[in-house]
Amino acid sequence: MPRATKQPQDDLNVDQALRPSIWDEYVGQEKIKENLHIIIEAAKKRNESMDHILFCGQAGLGKTTLALLVAKEMGAQVKITSGPALEKSGDMAAILTNLDAGDILFIDEAHRINRTIEEILYPAMESRTLHLMVGKGPSARSLNLELPPFTLIAATTRENLLSNPLRSRFGATFRLEYYNLDDIKKIVERNAKILGIDTEPESLEVIAKAARATPRVANRLLKRARDYAEVNDRNKIDKESAEQALALLEIDHLGLEPHDRKLLEAIIYKFNGGPVGLNTLAASLSEDRGVIEDIYEPYLMKLGFIQRTSTGRVVLPIAYEHLGLKRPGELL
């Protein structure tokens, strides 16, 4: 594989270098890209700001990257913040009053915006107005400020935690899906070139399979496989070094990490394979239920390893097979 000329220096630069900066580099999510192009073109033709957009999907699937690509295509300046960073109403008001015409405001983790702050956003999104209360007590009065035309792009990993009034104010909502193996392989291959690493096709396959169908994970594994190969004086990532790097990280060939196995084994051994309620499971693992729901479960459900039922979580047969365990009925 030819070596690329771009040679980023440290991990942060590497992450920046790996983020697609043109649409052609953004692999997959075809329907979403198609729809975005139409929205962008239409807004450009009318010489208007785009409608507000919501991106939903697991961490690392490319929501921020999409927002940046949209901004670039619109020729817009982008201001970035996140739900947890907005502590007071004043924080939101300050950001909104600092927007210039045509700007894109990107709010990550939008499900963590608190309700008082959300209420400032509603009129800002709907009629470009900022309602401010000035003063306190009987002398308090409300002030309405007109805002420049802007587009809010929000991203969330938990669409169900967004309030209805906020959700309904977006002109379009896009749900990012997990990537298929071919797309993840393309991403790993392209990124290996950017990093100037030689790879064997089999090693790309090993890394892609363990990447949890998620580009950010693919990037992380590629970097660790590169470290492993370099430390072991190999001039390229071959199948063996990719596998050994994963083994060292305790990641199996499907991308399961120790916490995934702990979760599956807890349901299997402590709750006879389930069903077990989320709270009980969280307590038994001393883990936050949000972390289980947000981070651990989605990929296990994608693999068909667990199922959420009305009575709780159940481990499915292929998970037993993968772990090399017998199902409850087969234990004798």
Catalytic residue numbers, as ranges:
63-64, 108, 157, 216
Part in contact with ligand ADP (CB under 6 A); list of ranges 93-101, 139-147, 214-222, 252-260: 214-222
Window 123-162: residues binding ligand ADP (CB under 6 A): 155
Using CB atoms within 10 Å of the CB of residue 276, give its burial: 0 to 12 exposed, 13 to 18 middle, 19+ buried: buried
Q: Using omega within 30 degrees of 0 as the cis cutoff, is the peptide bond preceding 275 cis? A: yes
Instruction: Select 59 or 172, whichever has its Cβ closest to ligand ADP.
Output: 59
Structure token digits, residue 59? 């961490």
Half-sphere exposure of 113 toward its Cβ, with a 13 Å CA cutoff? 27
Q: How many residues in the shown chain lie near ligand ADP by CB under 6 A? A: 20
24-32, 44-52, 119-127, 240-248 -> range binding ligand ADP (CB under 6 A) = 24-32
Separation CA 20–CA 64 (nearest Å): 11
Please give the structure tokens belonging to residue 245: 């790097």
Sequence-distant (6+) residues with CB within 8 A of 236 are: 197, 198, 199, 200, 229
**183 vs 27: CA distance, rounded Å:** 6
Nearest residue to the partner ligand ADP, using Cβ? 62
Q: Given candidates 62, 255, 274, 275, which one binds ligand ADP under the rule CB under 6 A? A: 62
Report in angstroms the alpha-carbon separations of 123 from 8, 119, 172: 43, 8, 18
Buried b / exposed e over 50-61, threshold 16 CB at 10 Å, is bebbbbbbbbbb
Report the residue number, 92 or 155, with the smaller CB distance to ligand ADP.
155
From 23-31, 139-147, 165-173, 261-269, span contacting ligand ADP (CB under 6 A): 23-31
The reply to whether 204 sits near ligand ADP by the rule CB under 6 A is: no
Q: Which is nearer to ligand ADP, 105 or 264 (CB)?
A: 105
The residues facing 307 across adjacent strands are 314
| Cβ 64 vs Cβ 106: under 8 Å | yes
Q: Does 52 bind ligand ADP (CB under 6 A)?
A: no
Judged by beta carbon, residue 62 or residue 275, the one nearer ligand ADP is 62
Between 26 and 150, CB nearer to ligand ADP: 26
**Binding window for ligand ADP (CB under 6 A); candidates: 34-42, 61-69, 95-103, 292-300:** 61-69
Applying CB under 6 A, the span of 36-44, 56-64, 72-80, 229-237 interacting with ligand ADP comes to 56-64
Least distance (Å) from ligand ADP to the CB of residue 252?
22
Number of alpha helices (DSSP H) and beta strands (DSSP E) in the chain: 15, 11
At what angle are helices 11-18 and 215-231 packed, to 10 degrees? 130
Closest CA to 102 of 145, 44, 60, 144: 44
Using the rule CB under 6 A, is 18 a contact of ligand ADP? Answer: yes
Q: Enumerate residues 257-316 that contact ligand ADP by CB under 6 A.
A: none
- The Cα 4–Cα 197 span in angstroms is 8
Q: What's the min distance (Å) between Cβ of 144 and ligand ADP?
A: 34
Under DSSP, is residue 37 helix (H, G, I), strand (E, B) or coil? helix
Minimum Å gap between C-beta 184 and ligand ADP is 9
Report if residue 28 touches ligand ADP, rule: CB under 6 A.
Answer: yes
- Least Å distance, CB 169 to ligand ADP, is 21
Residues 215-254, interacting with ligand ADP (CB under 6 A): 215-216, 219
65 near ligand ADP, judged by CB under 6 A: yes
Binding site for ligand ADP (CB under 6 A): 15, 18-20, 26-29, 59-65, 155, 187, 215-216, 219
